A and B are shown apart, each in its own frame.
With several copies, the nearest count.
Chain A
Amino acid sequence: MIVDIDAEVMANTKLSADYNVLVLAAPDIARQARPGQFVMVKPSGSFTPLLRRPFSIFEVLRDPSGTPGAISLLNKRIGVGTTLLWDVEPAGRVLCLGPLGRPFEPVDPPAEAFMVAGGVGLAPFATLGDALIARGTRTTLFYGARRGPELLYTEWFATRGVTLALATEDGSRGDHGLVTQPLQRALAARVSSDPVALYACGPTPMMHAVWKLAAGFGRDVQVSLEPVMGCGMGGCYSCVIPIRNDGGQRHFVRSCLAGPVFNASRVVWEDLMG
């Protein structure tokens, strides 16, 4: 059931100059959340800004008994709403609606899982990583950023048993270049009959590159797309993504209902890239 919680901010931890993690007391969302789902957050009680903002559910936090009690959001400060979520103080409150959207489909062994993250596209992979590891699936996180210090939570993934393959554009950590480089090597190292599930989230050009790379190896990718969303509930038709249907015809589907996770092979990338 979708709930709207006036959630107390339990912690607001700054990770870098632009990234912070907000922990929100939202047991009813934490309990239901599946990897890749999102929440719609109201960053202000006033009409500035008017609309909510979509955020992937980053972590599901449990109390000592294992009961889910809170979720966290990985927030990148880029505009008016994300700045309000950067500034919010512990004990403050934010309205949080969810869980929403079509989740990732976690794969089981013997298949292997490749999660490919660019920047704040890391957000959906904490819960997905947890789910995959819990299934015993061998999981690698390919993770790229501009600079080394923008590679966040790598420890978190490593301690859980996720293999890391990092890349930075300035070469300060991992591969010097784009995240597609280590991914290319890993894909090349598998034979085509090795079952590998690919998941990607990040800037649209990066997801497009991942899809083209994967397609070259005959593989599909579950991508989590990030269009502007007005409502997150299927109400407004603002969030549409061009998809090719079975007949090969292009049409617009609502990303908040049919997504945010799509099979990359269905997405009409030419249109999406504009």
Chain B
Amino acid sequence: MLNAQCYDSLVDLSAQIGPLTLKNPLIAASGCFGYGVEYKEAVDLASLGAVCVKGLFLHEREGHRPPRIVETPAGMLNAIGLQGIGVHRFVREHLPALRDLGATTIVNVCGSTLDEYVEVTKVLSDHEGVAAVELNISCPNIKAGGIQFGCSLTGAHDVVALVKRATALPVIPKLTPNVTDVASFARVAQEAGADAVSLVNTFLAMAIDVETRRPKLSNVLGGLSGPAIRPIAVRMVWECRQAVTIPILGMGGIASGTDALEFIIAGANAVQVGTANFFDPLIWNKLVADIEDYLRRHRIERLSDLVGGVEVSAFEPAWIDS
């Protein structure tokens, strides 16, 4: 009994993301938790591993007209259009509060050009309270043929390398799943000096109202997130784990402790929770408790010992589409 209790107190949930130590591996995903401060009345921000705030450009953006979201089976599409207050207002209006609330703040950085990524990062580097930058390099403009940063290996490399040169903050590119081989992007990110990679962003998708024959989203296309995508995201995390040595922040449909553990066992050092915030905003304590309980039951002292622990000895994939 004494032993078990001692053991209990030893469970170590911390996650190391490059130079950054998170108290636990649970991060609120960008775009799904506002600027964090919106949740202060309901969630103790200091109890999260980190808060990743909504994507920021240099300037304010209005975003797309509504409808901006639509539900799909076990998922949802969004096309918010990255409405945001811009980095300057963010550091003025919200960063001090996040600091005061004890949040570990990661900022999701957007750019229409390489320069903009660098500029936004520089502004953030000049202010106290930013723990890391996450680079949102998912196809920005699919109309012009897209494939600028997130969908081209050289584009991804350049963004990471340039931002890395401009800041001392940990740099975490966030990969899009809308590519043939996500692991090659993780590899390129590591080569360019990334401290970690985040994946996945949303899957490009569409929903049509058959009665009106019009898209359900004002923007026509949107990103699919939520439990529906989890099995694809887990696969991608697993693939990336074999491709890189830097930490992985895994996400896509996490809605329970079991889901979070699935990503960790697949190879994620930390996990982000996006869509589940919308239907279960007080999920965080449950996640921490479930993961701690798991570690105790399995007599695992450090969560980090579980990362990538999936056993695939018998892996002989021949045909998979079958």
Give residues in A with beta carbon < 8 Å to B. 1-4, 42, 47-52, 97, 227-228, 230-231, 233-240, 251-252, 257, 271, 274
Contact = CB atoms under 8 A, between A and B. Distances in A.
A49 B71 contact: yes
Given A4-B281, A52-B278, A236 B69 contact: yes
B54 interface: yes
Contacts, number: 96
Given A230-B278, A236-B278, A238-B69, 14 more contacts: A2-B42, A4-B42, A48-B73, A50-B226, A50-B279, A52-B278, A52-B279, A230-B76, A231-B278, A233-B38, A235-B277, A237-B63, A238-B80, A271-B65
Contacts of A49: 71
Contacts of B278: 51-52, 230-231, 235-236
Contacts of A52: 278-279
Nearest to A44: B279
Residue among A4, A42, A233, A271 with the most chain B CB within 10 A?
Answer: A233
Contacts of A235: 32-34, 38-39, 277-278, 281
Given A51-B76, A228-B67, A236-B32, A4 B83 contact: no
B205 interface: no
A49 B69 CA distance: 13
A1 B62 contact: no
- List the 7 closest pairs (A to B, CB-CB), nearest first: A234-B38, A231-B278, A47-B74, A238-B69, A2-B42, A234-B34, A237-B80
Contact of B68 (A233, A240, A274): A240
Interface string B72-107: 011110101001000000000000000000000000
Nearest to B228: A47
Contact of B42 (A1, A239, A251): A1
Interface of B: 31-34, 38-39, 41-42, 54, 62-63, 65-69, 71, 73-76, 78, 80, 83, 226-228, 275, 277-282
A47 B78 CA distance: 17
B76 A50 contact: yes
Contact of A237 (B39, B41, B68, B76): B68
A257 B275 contact: no
Contacts of B78: 230, 236, 238
B284 to A, nearest CB: 12
Contacts of A231: 277-279, 281
B41 A1 contact: yes
B83 A2 contact: no
10 contacts: A1-B41, A47-B73, A47-B74, A50-B74, A50-B226, A50-B279, A228-B66, A230-B78, A235-B32, A240-B83
Contacts of B33: 235
Contact of A50 (B32, B71, B277, B281): B71
Contacts of B277: 231, 233, 235
Contacts of A3: 42
B167 to A, nearest CB: 27
Contact of A238 (B38, B66, B227, B282): B66
A240 B322 CA distance: 14
A2 B44 CA distance: 12
A257 B71 CA distance: 22
Nearest to A80: B71
A227 B76 CA distance: 16
A51 B80 contact: no
Given A228-B66, A238-B80, A240-B83, A50 B39 contact: no
Contacts of A240: 63, 66, 68, 83
B39 A233 contact: yes
B42 A233 contact: yes
A49 B280 CA distance: 13
Contacts of B41: 1-2
A125 to B, nearest CB: 25
A159 B275 CA distance: 45
Nearest to A47: B74
B54, B226, B275 pick with most chain A CB within 10 angstroms: B275
Residue in B31, B279, B282 whose Cβ sees the most chain A Cβ within 10 Å: B279
B62 A252 contact: yes
Contacts of A237: 31, 34, 54, 63, 68, 80, 83
A52 B275 CA distance: 12
B71 A51 contact: yes
A118 to B, nearest CB: 21
Contacts of A230: 69, 76, 78, 278
Given A237-B54, A271-B65, A4 B38 contact: no
A248 B33 CA distance: 29
